Amino acid sequence: MRLALAAVLAFFAFPAFAFELSGRFEQGGIALGRAAPGSAVRLDGRAVPVDSMGRFLLGFGQEAAAVAVLEVDGERRELAVAPRDWPVQRIDGLPPAKVTPDPAALVRIKAEAALIAERRAAISPESRFLGGLVAPADGPVSGVFGSRRILNGEPRAPHSGTDIAAPVGAPVRSVGDGVVTLAHPDMVFTGLTVMVDHGLGLQTVYAHLSRAEVSEGQRVAAGQVIGAVGASGRATGPHLHWGASWLDVRLDPETVMAVLAKK
C-alpha cells in the first residue's frame, strides 16, 4: 500500500533530560520515546504507559494543541505539535438510515462505544509493536484520516481511520504483533469489527469485515490474516476501514505506519 505521507522521522535527544524521542510531532501523529527503566512519564498531565526498558509512546489527536507538555521523572519539556489541514469529503445520495440512526440504533451505538472504551482502557506493558508494522490490506487508499465528512449535506464527525479499497473477500492482515481485544460480529457503524492491542496503549481496528478468522484473547503476528474485506455495518461499498489509537486518542494510521513500519 502506498502511504499518503512520507516516512520521514525526526529524532530528538535531550541529554539534560535523559530521554529520547523519535516520530511525527503533528496532529494525528505518534512518537516513540525511551527513558531510564522505571521512569514516570506524563503527557499534558496524563500518565503514560512505560515498559520495563523505559520505552513509551506518545499520541497526538486530530485537534491536538500546538504545544504538548512532556514530563519524565518530574523534568518538563515542551513539544511543538505541528498543525495539519484536513480535507472535506462529501457523500450524497445515502439512504437516510445511514446518516441519522433511529432510536434503537442509538442505544446500540452507546453500548458499543462503551465496549470499545473498555477494551482500549486495558493497557498492556509489552512493546509488541517493536517488530514493525506492515500494511493491513492491498489496494489504494480511498479515504483518509481526519477528513471532515458531510453526508447528504449534513456535517458529521471526522473520519477516524484510513479506508483501503479492495474487493469482498480480500485478506485483511494484522499490522503488527499483538493480542485480539475485540471480535464483534455486528456493530452499527463498523459491522464485523476486530481490534488488536500492540502494547503501551497502541491498538488498531479493522472494520466492515465480511469474515473474521481470530477470536478475542488470541495472539497474532504482524502480517497474519485476521479476516476478509467486506461491506458490513454502515459502509457504502466494500473496503477496509482501519484505525489506530493510543489510549483513547485517535491517530492517523498512515502516520503510525510511517513511524513504526517494519524495516
Give how many domains the chain has, as a whole number: 2
Burial tier of 141 (Cβ tally within 10 Å: 0-12, 13-18, 19+): middle
Q: Would 20 be classed as within a structural domain? A: yes
The one-letter code for the residue type at 212 is A
Q: Would 235 be classed as within a structural domain? A: yes
Residue 22 is part of which domain span?
A: 10-80
pLDDT digits (tens, 9 = 90+) for 94-117: 676 666 777 888 999 999 999 999
Asked if 97 and 134 sit in the same domain, the reply is yes
Residue 158 pLDDT level (bands cut at 50, 70, 90): confident
pLDDT at 96: 66
pLDDT at 214: 98
Asked if 235 and 193 sit in the same domain, the reply is yes
- Interatomic CA distance for residues 66 and 45, integer angstroms: 16
- Interatomic CA distance for residues 45 and 196, integer angstroms: 27
pLDDT higher than 90, residue 88: no
- In this prediction, residues 139-168 reach a mean pLDDT of 87
Q: Which of 35, 52, 80 is the last residue of a domain?
A: 80
Contact assessment for residue 133 and residue 261, using Cβ atoms and an 8 Å cutoff: yes
pLDDT at 18: 74
Q: Which of 47, 80, 113 is the last residue of a domain?
A: 80
Closest CA to 40 of 32, 31, 50: 50
pLDDT at 10: 37
- In this prediction, residues 179-199 reach a mean pLDDT of 97
Q: Which of 40, 58, 80 is the last residue of a domain?
A: 80
Asked if 232 and 118 sit in the same domain, the reply is yes
pLDDT higher than 80, residue 91: no
Please state the φ and ψ torsions of residue 45, each to the nearest 5 degrees.
85, -5
Asked if 30 and 119 sit in the same domain, the reply is no
- Interatomic CA distance for residues 229 and 26, integer angstroms: 30
Asked if 48 and 156 sit in the same domain, the reply is no
Asked if 28 and 115 sit in the same domain, the reply is no
Asked if 67 and 115 sit in the same domain, the reply is no
Asked if 21 and 107 sit in the same domain, the reply is no
pLDDT at 234: 87
- Interatomic CA distance for residues 76 and 36, integer angstroms: 15
Asked if 124 and 235 sit in the same domain, the reply is yes
Residue 202 pLDDT level (bands cut at 50, 70, 90): very high
Q: Would 1 be classed as within a structural domain? A: no
User: 3-class DSSP state for residue 81?
Assistant: coil
pLDDT at 166: 97
pLDDT higher than 70, residue 11: no
Q: Would 5 be classed as within a structural domain? A: no
User: 3-class DSSP state for residue 222?
Assistant: coil
pLDDT higher than 60, residue 8: no
Spell out the alpha helix ranges (H) of 41-149.
Answer: 103-121
pLDDT at 107: 93
**pTM value?**
0.88
Asked if 135 and 232 sit in the same domain, the reply is yes
Asked if 131 and 223 sit in the same domain, the reply is yes
- Interatomic CA distance for residues 41 and 50, integer angstroms: 7
Asked if 125 and 222 sit in the same domain, the reply is yes
Please state the φ and ψ torsions of residue 189, each to the nearest 5 degrees.
-85, -40
Q: Would 153 be classed as within a structural domain? A: yes
Q: Residue 127 maps to which CATH number?
A: 2.70.70.10
pLDDT at 170: 98
Average pLDDT over the chain, rounded to an integer: 89
pLDDT digits (tens, 9 = 90+) for 220-259: 999 999 999 999 998 889 999 999 999 999 999 999 999 9
pLDDT higher than 50, residue 6: no
Q: Would 2 be classed as within a structural domain? A: no
- In this prediction, residues 36-52 reach a mean pLDDT of 96
pLDDT-above-90 percentage for the chain: 76
Q: What is the DSSP letter of 122?
A: -
Q: Would 238 be classed as within a structural domain? A: yes
Q: Would 130 be classed as within a structural domain? A: yes
